[in-house]
Amino acid sequence: MTRSTTTTLSRIHHFIDGGETAGSGDITRPVYNPATGKVTGELSLANRADLDATVSAARKAAETWGNISLARRTAVLFKFRELVAAHVDDLAALITAEHGKVLSDAKGEIGRGLEVIEYACGVPTLLKGDYSDQVSTGIDVFSFREPLGVVAGITPFNFPVMVPLWMAPMAIATGNAFILKPSERDPSPSLLLARLWKEAGLPDGVFQVLHGGKETVEGLLTHPDVDGISFVGSTPIAQYVHETATKHGKRVQALGGAKNHAMILPDADLDNAADHLAAAAFGSAGQRCMAISVAVAVGDAADALVAKVRERAEAVQVSNGTEPGADMGPVITPASKERIVKIVSEAEAAGAAVMVDGRELVVPGHEEGFWVGPTVIDHVTTGMRAYTEEIFGPVLVVVRVDTLEDGISLINANPYGNGTAIFTASGAAARKFQRSVDVGMIGINVPLPVPVAYHSFGGWKASLFGDKHIYGPEGVSFYTRGKVITSRWPEAKDASGASYNFPSN
């Protein structure tokens, strides 16, 4: 973070209480285009006064929005859905300019976000309660759900539109005010979302964007008027977010990191498996929490699989995400590139075989960009950092095992439990796999098993802190609290009959 002195860069502001504002903080941070390495914007960071103003506006808005009819809420959501769909190209351009992913990939993440908006449009049905008539003589019991109040979403750089749309529509549909703290690396898409919410008719203060670093995150985790926290990011930070916010009395869902394995059996269609492994490992430069970063090659599948994956990795077109035909863009920062290169070099020094090497990739015309090419490392062992750490780059490591059972044991020994996949022609093997792995999301001949919007997304073990997954039915549950009412309306002649005994039916 630096104190800015330039006046030539575009300023990226907060969106507080219905409008864009620079806030009162005087600290800024540069925003880069990872494909060119050039600074393209200057981001205003919040101070404590900005944080307090945002939470105060959210608290005031929540008191009204939570009591607005479901019909009015759904009208706003339907309108917001149409506006997002109409601005896909604009949102994708902002994503590519600040994240680096190719335009088609950016449009794909927006599409998955739209699915969650569409699910949230059904909130009248999602919030239906239960009613039990005559549980005892003249007594009925019914239940319904109410919003938490003010909730904050702290989101990562890798999906600057999709992850906020996994959170905000669910929170807003269920009657909460939502504060988005996006990544400082690609903040501009969040401001366009804020403008679209306002255009859809959402009252001021119900959706706000607050930019900031560690101090802002800490402020949201501890602020007494914030009732819930949704977080997606690395496992160490997810654990810290969960522990800190829970200690301060907040409901928390904190989704952490991953080391997603795909097991390939000898009976699999290896061409199909190689196609999907390459796409899942190198798409978005591997900067996905659901990226496949470990190929578990079983028995005789290994040599042929590595050869086919190598062929596909070498064919990936790496370029500026705006270029026609680009398959993959840069990684997000020079520090990220340096870390990826170091991990690959350590694996090579420890005896792994680098079959495809992207460490020295240069893209002509974009020599200052943050480039790492597709990389395939064979004969990786479980003690290497290339296996134990989430690399978050375009690196696929291959671990060889003898049997299906060995592969399952390998996956279950890993501390993460986000996503996994199996490629096989055997229904029996697939069923054994799905019932045996300690992982929250499983693909069978599907490499990126991201659930559709009417299911919920989330892993197990070190990939999730808290008991509620994101969006879907568990998203509704997370952003609401249940009330149960026991009701009796006796006629005058039946009004007596109170007892000192514990009530029963």
Residues marked as catalytic: 289
Q: How far is CA 246 from the centre of its chain?
A: 20
Contacts 24+ apart (CB under 8 A), 16-23: 16/50, 16/53, 16/54, 16/57, 16/208, 16/209, 16/210, 17/53, 17/54, 17/57, 17/204, 17/205, 17/208, 18/198, 18/204, 18/205, 19/204, 20/191, 20/194, 23/47, 23/49, 23/50
Contacts 24+ apart (CB under 8 A), 407-410: 407/261, 407/263, 407/296, 407/298, 408/263, 408/432, 408/433, 408/436, 408/437, 410/261, 410/296, 410/382
332: nearest Cα among 283, 392, 277: 392
The helix (H) or strand (E) run that includes residue 180 is strand 177-181
CA–CA gap between residue 395 and residue 294 (Å, rounded): 9
Q: What is the CA radius of gyration of the chain?
A: 25
Report helix, strand or coil for 172.
Answer: helix
Query: Side by side, which strands form the sheet with 10-12?
Result: 10-12, 38-44, 28-33
CA–CA gap between residue 416 and residue 436 (Å, rounded): 15
Q: Determine whether 417 is exposed, middle or buried from the number of CB atoms within 10 Å of its CB (0-12, 13-18, 19+).
A: buried
CA–CA gap between residue 199 and residue 197 (Å, rounded): 5
Report helix, strand or coil for 141.
Answer: strand
For residue 218, how many other CB atoms are within 10 A of its CB?
15
Q: How far is CA 455 from the centre of its chain?
A: 15
Q: How many CA atoms lie within 13 A of 80 on its CB side?
A: 32
> 73 is written with which tokens?
């809420």
143: nearest Cα among 485, 388, 460, 371: 485
Report helix, strand or coil for 465.
Answer: strand
Listing DSSP states for 129-140 in one string gives -EEEEEEETTEE
b/e map of 125-160 (b: 16 or more CB within 10 Å)?
A: ebbeeeeeeeeeeebeeeeebebbbbbbbbbbbbbb
Report helix, strand or coil for 461.
Answer: strand
